[in-house]
Amino acid sequence: MKAMIEIQDVVFKYKSQEEEIKALKNVTIEVNEGEFVVIIGHNGSGKSTLAKHINALLIPSQGDVSVRGMNTKDESKTWDIRQTAGMVFQNPDNQIVATIVEEDVAFGPENLGVESKEIVRRVEEALKIVDMTEYREKAPHLLSGGQKQRIAIAGVIAMRPDCIIFDEPTAMLDPSGRKEVISTIEKLNKEENITIIHITHFMEEAVNADRVIVMEAGQIVLEGSPREVFSQVEELKALGLDVPQVTDLAHELIREGINIPNDILTVDEMVMELCQLK
Amino acid sequence: MSIKIENLTYIYNPKSPFETKALDNVNIEIESGEFIGLIGHTGSGKSTLTQHLNGLIKPTSGRIIINGLDITNSSVKLVEVRKKVGLVFQYPEHQLFEETVYKDIAFGPLNQGLKEEEVEQRIKEAMEAVKLSYEDLKDRSPFELSGGQRRRVAIAGVLAMKPEVLILDEPTAGLDPRSRDEILEEIKMLHERYKITIILVSHSMEDIAKLVDRIIVMHRGHVRLMGEAREIFKQSEVLESIGLGIPQITHLLNQLKQKGVVLRDDIFTVEEAKEEILKWMRGEKNA
């Protein structure tokens, strides 16, 4: 498998009130083409700082970040990097620039100098992928949070990135908006083969990822498949993170001497395990 | 402070193509000192409802009676109502504007015409209630604090007015799990310590279930369900039909029931589910 993103021993330092803060401490991550990686960690753990390194919004103080082999320190590559690795942020209202949905989606490719016929085609395709075609002529401010966020995603897709970094895209949404956005992200990965890096503090959003990375104080503290990571209930709780309720329950039952696996993630698995025991 | 809402209806943009009935004949009674959880989808009318309670919105029809006083009556001074009913909006930290934490929290009490000494005392108390260190933070700019701290400063600004009813609209939205748990814990302490009436608006069933005396579920401008948390969670079909999630644990027990395993259906915490499953595993009869 080819590497999409290589983060090699990255340190990021900045100054706050004369004090030097190390937001990232020797972080190394490799993300392969087509992979779906979720990064979790609480506020201040360094996860957003890391995300901003991937599309050259921040440049490492030490170490290297490269996207498809392009080093983010090479300024001549900045625009190619940002076209390869798109980014979606937390607040949909801050990402929408136009007064009509389709114009908003066209903003990115227009700036890339894409020919107008091709723009029309891309906008149409992007809106179809996020399932917002019927809203193409609507005003974004009349849409729900989940819909606005899907428009923001369409705007990124229209730039044809190979990889999209989502920085807490669901933090400001209600449960149904969250579901819409999550299923859109999963679809981009499965059907469009876009490499996904999804940053969140909602653990249940990590259940379907290929890999979960847990960050704390600028370092990676846990890494593995969702099952491997979530089975570490005690460690996650000590870090102030949630685990899915059923995983927590499995853990509690094991402590009471019940013989069930410690890596249960879904209600269906739990029901199956319990019914087999009885 | 008791609240009585009678036949409350509110119509946005009346007589225009955008006319929307945001609240439709809502009747709610809240006793003094009660802790209420208000749940509903975006657009269910919950924020419109809360904005009526301190007179930010006037009803199209119906009455709101707070401690025997009908606040929809035009002779009532809304300034007095707002002293008693504190409203913490969504993302309240977006409304911070002063140079220092002290000045920001002082804004409300100073506008109430309180003396400087009294204001200082209130700021100390309010900061303590949300676990912010007065000495360390009073002279700092609110804009250099962390997200969780900024939100606390904003909440303290409302607390410093000593409201008898405190309404919090999604106070944990966008926070990480640790800050979320801390803020919910502080709200619980406020309720226990000052016996104020609290209305907590949230999307999260899990958060609300652990804290409140009673839950009100809104849907399309109506009160759809109202009652104790346990009673509400028994109605998981209704909740799911109106697009509200139920706690994963409640879902688990429902699934088990479908497989013929009948356990209590009013459970929403991991701890209770553990007890219930252990009983079943160990072959005890269920009530």
With residues binned 3-state (H G I as helix, E B as strand, rest as coil), the percentages for chain A, rounded to 5, are 45, 25, 35
Please tell me which residue, B272 or B262, carries the higher pLDDT value.
B272
- Best probe of the B interface among A89, A255, A267, A277, by most B CBs < 10 A, is A267
Q: State the residue range of the domain holding A184.
A: 34-60+76-226
Cβ-based contacts of B247 with chain A (< 8 Å):
245
pLDDT at B144: 87
Q: What angle do CA A265, A267, A268 make, to 5 degrees?
A: 100
List of residues 6+ apart from B163 with CB closer than 8 A: B83, B84, B85, B86, B196
Kindly state whether A240 is in contact with chain B, defined as any CB-CB distance less than 8 angstroms. yes
Q: How far apart are CA A173 and CA A91, in angstroms?
A: 9
Nearest of B65, B11, B37, B46 to residue B200 by alpha carbon: B37
Assess whether pLDDT exceeds 60 at residue B166.
Answer: yes
Task: With beta carbons less than 8 A apart as the criterion, state whether B137 and B145 touch.
Answer: yes
Cα distances (angstroms) measured from residue B199 to each of A109, B35, B59, B131, B188: 46, 6, 19, 21, 11
B275, closest residue in chain A (CA to CA): A253
pLDDT value at residue B86: 94
- Mean pLDDT of the region A231-235: 92
Residue B147 pLDDT class (50, 70, 90 cuts): confident
B249 shares contact with chain A (CB less than 8 Å): yes
- Total domains in chain A come to 1
A residues 157..176 contacting B (CB < 8 A)? 168, 171-172, 174-176
Count of A-B CB contacts under 8 Å: 90
Q: Return the pLDDT at B284.
A: 59
What ipTM is given for this predicted complex?
0.76
Task: Provide the angle, in degrees to the nearest 10, between the axes of the packed helices B116-129 and B177-194.
Answer: 120
The residue type found at A264 is I
Is residue A267 domain-resident?
no
A241 contact residues in B (CB cutoff 8 A): 177-178
Rounded to the nearest integer, the mean pLDDT of chain B is 90
pLDDT given for residue A73 in this prediction: 96
- Cβ-defined contact of A172 to B43 (cutoff 8 Å): no
Rounded mean pLDDT of A111-134? Answer: 93
* pLDDT score, position B287: 43
Distance CA A55, CA B270 (A): 41
Q: What is the pTM of this model?
A: 0.84
Widest Cα–Cα separation across chain B? 66
On whether residue A25 sits in a domain, the answer given is no
B21-69: per-residue pLDDT in tens? 999 999 999 999 999 999 988 788 998 999 999 889 999 999 999 988 9
The owner of tokens 């392969």 is A32
Position B208 confidence tier, pLDDT thresholds 50, 70, 90: confident
pLDDT at B244: 82
User: For an interface test with A, which of B13, B20, B145, B176 has the most A Cβ atoms less than 10 Å from its Cβ?
Assistant: B176
Element (H, E) at A23: strand A19-32
* CATH code: domain of residue A140: 3.40.50.300
H, E, C per residue of B48-99: HHHHHHCCCCCCCEEEEEECCEECCCCCCCHHHHHHHEEEECCCHHHHCCCC
Q: Does A129 touch chain B (CB under 8 A)?
A: no
Burial of A95 (0-12, 13-18, 19+ CB in 10 A): buried
Confidence tier at B152 by pLDDT (50, 70, 90): very high
Q: Average pLDDT of chain A? A: 92
Give B243's contacts in chain A (Cβ within 8 Å): 175-176
Is the CB of residue B282 less than 8 Å away from at least one CB of chain A? no
In a domain, A202, yes or no: yes
Among the partner residues B179, B203, B249, nearest to A245 by beta-carbon distance: B249
Beta carbons of B95 and B103 less than 8 angstroms apart: no
- B240 pLDDT higher than 60: yes
Count Cβ atoms below 10 Å from residue A124 Cβ, excluding itself: 15
Distance CA B233, CA B231 (A): 6
Q: Give the pair of three-digit tokens for residue A200.
A: 């969140």
Whether residue A98 lies inside any domain: the answer is yes
Quote the percentage of chain B above a pLDDT of 70: 99
Please state whether B5 falls in left (phi above 0), alpha (psi between -120 and 50) or beta.
Answer: beta
Question: Smallest CA–CA separation between A201 and chain B, in Å?
Answer: 6
Chain A residues with CB-CB distance to B279 below 8 A: none
Chain B residues in contact with A145 by the CB 8 A cut-off are 42
Partner-chain contact B278 A145, CB within 8 Å: no
Determine which of B46, B270, B276, B278 to mutate to test the interface with A (most A C-beta atoms within 10 Å): B270
- Is the Cβ of B1 closer than 8 Å to some Cβ of chain A? no
Instruction: Please report whether residue A243 resides in a domain.
Output: no
pLDDT beyond 90 at B178: no
Residues A142-168 have pLDDT tens digits of 888 889 999 999 999 999 999 999 999
A6 within a domain of the structure (yes/no)? no
